[in-house]
Structure formats: C-alpha cells, structure tokens
Amino acid sequence: MADAQDRGHVSAPGRDDGGAETTRDLLGVVPDPSEGRSESVVTVLVAFAANTLIAVAKTGAAVVTGSASLVAEAAHSWADSGNQVFLMIANRRAGRPPDSAHPLGHGREAYVWSLFAALGVFLAGAAVSITHGVQELITPQPASNFVVGYVVLAVSFVLEGTSFLQSMRQAKPEAASLHRDLIEHVLATSDPTLRAVFAEDSAALIGLVIAAAGLGLHQATGSPTPDAVGSILVGLVLAAVAVVLINCNRRFLIGEEADPRVRAAALQALLDEPEVARVTYLRLEFVGPRMVSVVGDVDLTGDDTESHLAVRLRALEAKISASPAVAGALLSLSAPDEPTLVI
C-alpha cells in the first residue's frame, strides 16, 4: 500500500476517454451540467421578459388606481426583474472553465450571485410591500379605476404563469431522474437559478391572488384597509420565499453533499471497477450547479508496489473525472483496519 505522500490529486475532467462508460454509470442520475446551464438560461430569460412587462403594467395600474396591493405587486415585479440580472450573471460566471487558481471550476459563484438575488427579493420586494401596507393603514388612500387593476392582474397572472410553466418544464425531468417530487427537487437542486425562478414565480402567483382579493374587498367595502392588508401579506410571502432561498444558497456555499441516491450510484460504480477491492470513505460534494467533487478512500486489488499503486490510483481518478458532472476526484488508499462501505 502507498503511504500518505502518494495520495490522489484533483484530476481535470475528461482526462481519460476510456473511462466514459464507468463514469456515466457513476453519476448517471445527475443531469448533464452543460444541458442544465442552457436550460437554466432559457428559464431566466423567460422570467426576465415576463417580469419586466409585468412590472411596467403594474406600475401604471398602481398610479391609475392608487391601490396599495398593486403598489406592492409593482415593487415585487421590479425586484424580480432586477434579480433575473443577478441570475444571468450567476449562470455566466459559474460556467467558466477551471484554471490553475480554481481547479474545481467557478461553479460556486452561482450561489453567491443567487444569494444577492434572494436578498433583493427580501429588501426590494418584501420590505417595500410591508412598509407601504403599514403606511396605508396609518393614512388610508381611496382607490379608483378598479377595472384597470383587474385587467393588469389578469394579464400578469398569464405572464407569470408562462414563466412558472417554463421552470416546471425544466424541473420535472430532473426530479423524475432522481425519484423526487417536484417541490422536493426544487428545494434540493444544486441549480440555484432554477430554484429562484420557480420560487419567485410561485410567490408572484400567490401575490397576484392576494392583490386581486385586496382590490376586490376595497371596491366592495369602500374601505382601503383590505387593500393595505393585502400589501402586507404580499410582503410576508416574499419575505418567507427570500428566507428559504437565502438558506438554500448558504447551504451550498458552505458545502452540500450530493443526494444519497447519487452517492449510492457512485459507490456501486466504484465497487464494480475491477481495480477496486473495497471503498472505505466516499463524499460527493456540490461545487456548482450539477457539478460535484469526489473524495474517497479505496483499497485496490492485488499487492502491488508503492509506485505501481500510485499510478493505478491516478488512472482511477482520471476515469472518474471523465464524467461531465465531476469537477475533480481525489482518492486515497484505505487503511487495512478501516470499515468497508456497503450500499
């Protein structure tokens, strides 16, 4: 067996085409990173176009009607439009290739920029909506031209629904491949842009229903109080969504381990390798959207010399790193007394 100085090193993806079959088996349940990034760009662009149109329409309706709920919804949509810019930056910067200073790539930048977007939802959306609602309760202002408000809310619902359907279209196949339900996958996915768009569109649809109810009760009762309460409720929904998004990005920034099903598939693929007698440690950690680093301890077959063991270990690392979903692999040799991992 080799000693500590012969431990594995991080290998660049795609070093050994001969390992393609093994690495497909290794992480076959992880969506291809390049395909996922392309799909995420489409999802963000659809959301950006929808939110910008909606923000302009809601702003005009808020001015015409004087509705507190519509002011809250306008602030929400402008915040979402700005957030899509952060998400586009996240996709672009996370997709940069590895370099000498970043051997595992730049994938974690996606979580940094998505964190900024989540903070934008909290500050520009939730805070403005709640503050305006409270101000309306203290100094009520009557609304008018209710039909304009209803028309804008209806059109907004259609546009938000279109964006929401695009995020669902992206999420459903990925959720099915990991045997998750849709909501579970959105909360667990390593793609922060998909999660952000899905969460923001969900909040937007809920907010539109609240705003319509507030506007309708304002018209029916003649009191601006339901409208102001609607604005506060929209803000609370946005605050709840922002907290969830902030926490998810925090988890991935500090290091989130891959789904147990992915880990089990990787362990099985390693054990199926003729070079591997047993595996005593294995950790797959996300280092970007749909990208993992693989760290493990393995016992190689036979009783080779130290130098030959090092070469065989490097070859196994290269085989693992050939998977497009693997940013790098680091393997060490197991100690004889370490317990064997089982699936």
Kindly state the DSSP code that residue 13 receives in the 8-state scheme: T
Helix 146-177 vs helix 33-65: crossing angle, to nearest 10: 170
Structure tokens at 193: 């842009």
Annotate 294-308 with DSSP letters as a single string.
Answer: EEEEEEESS---HHH
d(CA 52, CA 56): 6
Mind listing the pLDDT tens digit of every residue in the chain (343 residues)? 333 333 333 333 333 333 334 444 444 445 555 555 567 778 888 888 888 888 898 899 888 888 888 888 888 788 888 888 888 888 888 888 888 888 888 889 999 999 988 888 777 778 888 988 898 899 888 888 889 989 989 998 998 898 899 889 888 988 888 888 999 999 999 999 889 889 988 988 998 999 899 989 999 998 989 989 998 998 899 899 989 999 999 999 999 998 888 888 889 889 988 889 999 999 999 999 988 999 999 999 888 777 788 899 999 999 888 888 888 899 999 988 999 998 7
Tell me, what's the pLDDT at 34? Answer: 55
Kindly state the DSSP code that residue 18 receives in the 8-state scheme: G
264 Cβ contact partners less than 8 Å away, ≥ 6 residues apart: 343
The pTM of the full predicted model, rounded to 2 decimals, is: 0.78
Tell me, what's the pLDDT at 240? Answer: 92
Helix 128-138 vs helix 68-94: crossing angle, to nearest 10: 170
Helix 192-221 vs helix 225-254: crossing angle, to nearest 10: 170
**CB-CB contact of 110 with 192 (8 Å):** yes
Portions of the chain given CATH number 1.20.1510.10: 33-254
Torsion of CA 79, 82, 84, 88, to 10 degrees: -160
d(CA 218, CA 224): 5
The three-class DSSP label of residue 281 is strand
Q: How many helices (H) and strands (E) does the chain have?
A: 11, 3
Structure tokens at 321: 């790193």
Tell me, what's the pLDDT at 307? Answer: 77
Q: Which CATH class is domain 33-254?
A: mainly alpha
d(CA 34, CA 245): 23
Tell me, what's the pLDDT at 145? Answer: 85
Tell me, what's the pLDDT at 197? Answer: 87
HSE-up (13 A, CA, CB side) for residue 49 = 12
HSE-up (13 A, CA, CB side) for residue 113 = 23
